[in-house]
Structures are given as C-alpha cells and as structure tokens.
Amino acid sequence: MMKKFAIIVLLPILFLVTGCQKDIIGEEDDPITITTPPQELKLSEVSGIITNDNNDPLSDVIIKYNDVEYLSDENGYFLIPQTGIPSDGGILYISKSGYYDNYKFILGEAQTRSHIRVHMIEKNLTTTINAINGGEANLDIGAKIIFPERAFVDDNNVSYEGEVSIYAHWYDPSSQNLPHSMPGDLRGLSQEGKLVQLATYGMMAVELFTANGQSLQLGEGISATIEFPIPETLQNSAPETIVTWSLNEETVYWEEESTATLVDGKYIAEVTHFSFWNCDAPFPLVNIYGKLVNQDGQALPWHLICILA
C-alpha cells in the first residue's frame, strides 16, 4: 500500500485536502491543466509557529508574503494581519540564515485565520571535496551524492577548481514530521504542463559553495548521481522506476525532470542541477472541502489532516 503525506492549512471552520492517491500507479484520470483565471482574494489572517530540529521555537525567521516581510518572535510565532489570499492559495517564503529555505502554501477563508506549523532544517556541512577530482557526499542514513571530475561552475558560469563545500539533507518520506519540514505541499507540474499531486518516496536538499561561500552549480552537460534510500515501510510499494522532480522555488511546484531506477533499496537518479530533488509518483489532484468537529458539533481549528492511501 502506498503512503502519501500532504500538508494542510486548516481554518477555524474549514479544511481543504490538496490531493488524494490511488493504490496502483498508472490508473488515473487526466490530470488538471493549469490555467490562470482571475482569482478572488479572500481577506484572511495567517499565523504560525516555527521550530528548529529539536522542536524548539525559532525566532527571527523571515516570512515573506506579497513582498512584505514578517519575523517570528521568541516563541517562534508570527502573525500576518488581514491580507488578500487567492482562492487557490498563496505562498509563504520562509528563510533564516543557517537553515534551508522553506515554502508553504496557505489557504484563506473570509474573516478567518489560517494557522500553520513549520519545521526548519539546519544547514550543516556534509563534506568537502576537490572540484578537480570530484568525490562523494555520504549522509548518515545511506543517502549519497556522487560528483564527477571538473563538474562545477560559479555564478558567472566559469569553471571552478577549488574546494567545494557540500550541504545536503535527506527528507524521510515516512516521517510524521515531513508535512512541516518539506518545502511546498507536493504539488507537481508534469512535462505536459499538467498539475498533479505527488506521493513521495524521498527528497533531498543539496547546496554547493566555494571556500568563500559563493554558490556553485554543475556545468552545462554535466550530471551528478543522487542515491535516495527507501524506508523499509515503503519498499514493498516502491515501483522499479519513478519520476524525479526538482522544486521551482518561485512557484513552489515540483517540476518533472527525468526518472530514477530502484537498485538495492535505493532510487538512483542522474541530475543536471541542484536545488531540492524528489522521487514521486504522480496522481490526479483532488480538492476536498469539509468541516472538522468534535462529538458535540463544535468546530476544531488548526488540525493537520493527512490522507493515507
């Protein structure tokens, strides 16, 4: 049985689930084609709690919405006062020095408050390699990135031959904390321009820097290899090949790239650039609206809803 996690922003009297999933890959209706009709703006408030790796409150995190920046306080709390949110959701861009960026879709309903929880992942040095020789970056849980010789260029597309600092983090697809820590909510954009919902088998963040802190990328025509370990709970449902996706950090859609192959409990993928990468099965996107109440019929605000299929 396949498992999917979706982050849900809940309103005081309304919730929306951003996707559902079928058990068999390939049995799906035609995906939705993205269109851009005029959006109705709903005047809502947005609040949230931001924590670090130890679930401690994280202060001075920048939360950007509609080109306005807000900061979390000493309790990790932030509040965006009455603001217009499109009917299909808005995007929060969340950042703090020393942490991987995060991005969250928010949903609004008129004269209500949406509330989210965000878990920021600290950006720790994984390893350093020599750019001329190439090398490997190994994460503790079996994830790996393999770089060929002379693979790197700087922001000016000039070949770089010094030491490369590699920062990488593997997101466990079986973790209950994934909806809070992963970027976005697993909305995918296929190569045909179709909007789909994704079921993840693992994702990774990778950032590359020179010794002076300048960002690096792979040179044109050069590929690196990523190995995504598959948790034991997902191995029985893992297909032999799976689509790979990279995150567009402006739209926060995962964009279809290529495929990865299952080898000895890992997905092996070739990538041509670095950002966030993801191994996912795509499914039709379905929106479900409802009201969450207790046994007395009273509305239950700010609960996370996950659909497991």
pLDDT in tens, 54-77: 999 999 999 999 999 999 999 999
Residue 139 clears pLDDT 90, i.e. is over it: yes
For the chain, the residue count is 309
Q: How many C-beta neighbours within 10 Å does residue 210 have?
A: 17
Q: Print burial letters for 31-59: b (CB count within 10 Å at least 16), e (below 16).
A: beeeeeeeeeebebbbebbbbbeeeeebb
What local confidence, expressed as pLDDT, does residue 91 receive?
94
What local confidence, expressed as pLDDT, does residue 88 receive?
75
pLDDT range class, residue 2, cuts 50, 70, 90 = very low
Mean pLDDT on 126-146: 96
Pick the CATH number of 15-121+286-290 from 3.10.20.310, 3.40.190.10, 2.60.40.4130, 1.20.140.10: 2.60.40.4130
Give me the sign of the Cα torsion angle 109, 185, 80, 297. positive
Residue 8 clears pLDDT 60, i.e. is over it: no
Fold exhibited by the domain 125-284: Chondroitinase Ac; Chain A, domain 3 (2.60.220)
- Locate the domains of the chain by residue range: 15-121+286-290, 125-284
**CA proximity to 67, closest of 84, 52, 42, 87:** 84
Contacts with 67 (C-beta within 8 Å, 6 or more apart), sequence order: none
What local confidence, expressed as pLDDT, does residue 290 receive?
76
Residue 79 clears pLDDT 70, i.e. is over it: yes
What local confidence, expressed as pLDDT, does residue 107 receive?
79
What local confidence, expressed as pLDDT, does residue 5 receive?
37
3-state SS string for the chain:
CCCCCCCCCECCCCEEECCCCCCCCCCCCCCEECCCCCCCEEEEEEEEEEECCCCCECCCCEEEECCEEEECCCCCEEEEEEEEEECCCEEEEEECCCECCEEEEECCCCCCEEEEEEECCECCEEEEEECCCEEEEECCCCCEEEECCCCEECCCCCECCCEEEEEEEEECCCCCCHHHHCCCCCEEECCCCEEEEEEEEEEEEEEEECCCCCECEECCCCCEEEEEECCHHHHCCCCCEEEEEEECCCCCCEEEEEEEEEECCEEEEEECCCCEEEEEEEEECCCEEECCECCCCCECCCCCCCCCC
What local confidence, expressed as pLDDT, does residue 237 receive?
93
Distance separating alpha carbons of residues 214 and 164, to the nearest angstrom: 10
Token couple for 240:
């032999």
What digits encode the pLDDT tens for the residues 12-27? 323 333 333 333 334 4
pLDDT range class, residue 214, cuts 50, 70, 90 = very high
Phi first, then psi: what are they for 232, rounded to 5°?
A: -55, -35
Mean pLDDT on 266-288: 91
Mean pLDDT of the chain: 86
